[in-house]
Structure 1
């Protein structure tokens, strides 16, 4: 699918989409509960749909009512072959919590997930005293053995999602557990996990994100309906849109969110862009962005909108954290440089830093999303910096996280 975005769009107000980060974790937590959990504002992104399918594969009874789901976990035998679709979070968490539900199963995926390295699972499964067989460190992978808690040490430098899987798993085991985490990245995503677990009655203590203490024999129990909060990752694109157009109002965001991408507000400040909250809505004022420096190590999903923000400013902007982009839907750093280079934007990557030489404008033309939802959304926002607009190939990639994104342009 191709989508053409004109240079002179006039979008004054958008409603943010549900957070798939919260929704996916909530679905798996409900899968580990013997009681029925009600989750609303679940969203219709491909990743959430995949996670609901995973819940059923893990033995849960899943009922869907428009934007609400009822999940009763631990009802059926876990399937021996699990498929996570293209959800990286689904893969990393499912592979780990599946060890509590089955002593022998295989995990597979499709699309870009087949190209992601599974090498980190080798050390994690060894810590859990389980056997793992992979396809030369790629999918499919098979896990066997009886999982036990205890003292674990993991490396968190590549992704925090492995730790999230362990935090979901370990409270269900008989043993008390301690996790020592080295070089943890994306700490806000662990805040999301812990906040979500608290809602299900699971208690976890940690010391500076380096030592996590988890009691065993805890029970998942959601006592009230859980309403999923809306997503700062998609909203970050609209923040940039508002700054380089005539402003915008974004409805439905949680001002006090622990989401990693709430950091976009600090990036806006660094670029001298003003915003304000009023009655729960976020308003971005039309601004003249300034070149900026920003560390996106803990919020790597912000790179695409940050690149467009940097392109709108005249001068050199520097964004660190590029090493976090290698194992995404695409090698996102390289794709950003290549695709927006087609529009005349000069991007240079030096070690862990991306240098963007902004001119305030971009050339009209065509970019390819590389089936990466965040590249597609950033391309749409970038059209405002051109004279004639931008054509985006593989624009349907947005379905992964924000299926209604293109409706705002129609």
Structure 2
């Protein structure tokens, strides 16, 4: 049987890389150019927050062959920020969790008063491990009533030194501290207990080294970051592997083939590991040096359990298509996903039940049984990943609609159009 010819998917740049690089570029000496950055609600919010901190970001014409139409040039401060004119700086984080968790640390390495605010959805997301760490490093922090935003940071620089950080609910607290560690007065040594999503920390370290930082890891897993700051550079933002999971899953269930260019074996993103889960489910996977292709049979193999803790942003993609498998699929290790834009385990389970599918859930796991889904309105919970995951199932199940289709703009404003381009009338 001849395999289908692979369609080339147009996946926008990685949100995780874009926002990390924006901060690194802001702190660096000189100008940094980002080619093919992600242009979405979260990254634009992060970019705007930098301008609120007095860091110019120029939007330039990009390479017409790239997904995005722009390139961004960040004119770095060469060190910590200062509140303009000695007044309190107000930084609006919108819905961007990375802005709320990375930028307060950067502000704390500087001087002045900084107030971080965000949407109601972002305000309820936890920040306590981060605020406790900032206080331990010498900042004065005043969190909101719920322990998170609005957050006021009164800064006179951070001392560095040794720190123990609870990282059992999010790796973003550790990333925020690492990114700004070269700006502290002393080297920072962090012990991160119960660390989840380790691949995101590996990504952070790789990008810090690209900007000239010295990061070492001890045999006991502690991370040490030397002082010395950053130097600007130029880099191309690779496609977002979490976002690519939707087109890869779509290929698997429709019996087609999809290639994502510029996302290959050298990717910094752990979420590319999602294709290995599709391989467990019977899809053919090819990871080349500069592209990844998934070819589906149109059917899914079930009857397995898989730990997706390190790639938890993609567990919803697998769970949403799991009813089409020939046996139950159990996903474990994703308890921290309950603290994201929504309680993602509960949201996935509730929507699958609305479609008539038997689901069992635990604190950190979900089991999805085979079934014949019926059409229903999907409750997106303002969560872009819920919307995109169930849109993929909608390629095979008539009558699936979203109560908030526009929430995909958080990371992929053109998602619905790209799904239709790749899969035609199946994408309704």
Q: Same fold (TM over 0.5)?
A: yes
Match of 1:289 among 284, 300, 304: 300
User: Is 1:396 the counterpart of 2:396 in the alignment?
Assistant: no
Instruction: Provide the aligned C-alpha RMSD in A.
Output: 2.0
Alignment correspondent of 1:349: 361
Task: Give the whole-Å Cα distance in 2 for the aligned partners of 1:71 and 1:220.
Answer: 13
Contact 2:112 2:154 in 1 (8 A): yes
Deviations 1:185-236 (A, max 9, x none): 11100111111111111121113582111111x131134x210111110111
Gaps of 5+ in 1: 1-9
Give the deviation of 1:301 after TM superposition: 0.5
SS in 2 for 1:326: helix
Runs of 4+ in structure 1 over 6 Å off: none
Between 1 and 2, higher relative CO (CA 8 Å, sep ≥ 6) is seen in 1
Alignment correspondent of 1:170: 181
Give the deviation of 1:93 after TM superposition: 0.5
Contact 2:115 2:150 in 1 (8 A): yes
Contact 1:57 1:78 in 2 (8 A): no
SS in 2 for 1:384: coil
Give the deviation of 1:276 after TM superposition: 2.1
Give the deviation of 1:277 after TM superposition: 4.3
Aligned CA distance change for structure 1 residues 99 and 209 (closer, same or farther; 3 Å): farther
Gaps of 5+ in 2: 62-69, 422-428
Contact 1:293 1:319 in 2 (8 A): yes
Contact 2:321 2:392 in 1 (8 A): no
Aligned CA distance change for structure 1 residues 15 and 255 (closer, same or farther; 3 Å): farther
Alignment correspondent of 2:246: 237
Deviations 1:235-273 (A, max 9, x none): 111111101102222222233213121110221122122
Aligned CA distance change for structure 1 residues 395 and 286 (closer, same or farther; 3 Å): same
Alignment correspondent of 1:27: 22
Match of 1:332 among 344, 362, 370: 344
Contact 1:16 1:250 in 2 (8 A): no
* 71-80 or 28-37: bigger deviation: 71-80
SS in 2 for 1:168: helix
Contact 2:320 2:348 in 1 (8 A): no
1:185-334 map, 5 Å:
185-207=196-218, 210-216=221-227, 218-223=228-233, 225-252=234-261, 253-277=263-287, 280-287=290-297, 288-291=299-302, 292-334=304-346
Match of 1:370 among 354, 361, 381: 381
Aligned CA distance change for structure 1 residues 227 and 12 (closer, same or farther; 3 Å): closer
Task: Give the whole-Å Cα distance in 2 for the aligned partners of 1:135 and 1:277.
Answer: 45
Give the deviation of 1:99 after TM superposition: 0.5
* 284-293 or 27-36: bigger deviation: 284-293
Give the deviation of 1:321 after TM superposition: 2.0
SS in 2 for 1:169: helix
Alignment correspondent of 2:106: 97
Task: Give the whole-Å Cα distance in 2 for the aligned partners of 1:25 and 1:389.
Answer: 39
Task: Give the whole-Å Cα distance in 1 for the aligned partners of 2:30 and 2:405.
Answer: 40
Match of 1:17 among 9, 12, 15: 12
Alignment correspondent of 1:6: none
Deviations 1:278-331 (A, max 9, x none): 684432222221113111111110121111232220221110123111211111
Q: What TM-score do you get using the length of structure 1 for normalisation? A: 0.92
Task: Give the whole-Å Cα distance in 1 for the aligned partners of 2:364 and 2:171.
Answer: 18
Contact 2:266 2:290 in 1 (8 A): no
Aligned pairs, number:
397
Give the deviation of 1:12 after TM superposition: 4.2
Task: Give the whole-Å Cα distance in 2 for the aligned partners of 1:161 and 1:16.
Answer: 23
Task: Give the whole-Å Cα distance in 1 for the aligned partners of 2:406 and 2:28.
Answer: 34
Deviations 1:343-375 (A, max 9, x none): 11222112322111122x321222121110001
SS in 2 for 1:23: helix
Deviations 1:50-86 (A, max 9, x none): 1111111222111011420111122874352111111
Task: Give the whole-Å Cα distance in 1 for the aligned partners of 2:171 and 2:185.
Answer: 24
Alignment correspondent of 2:426: none
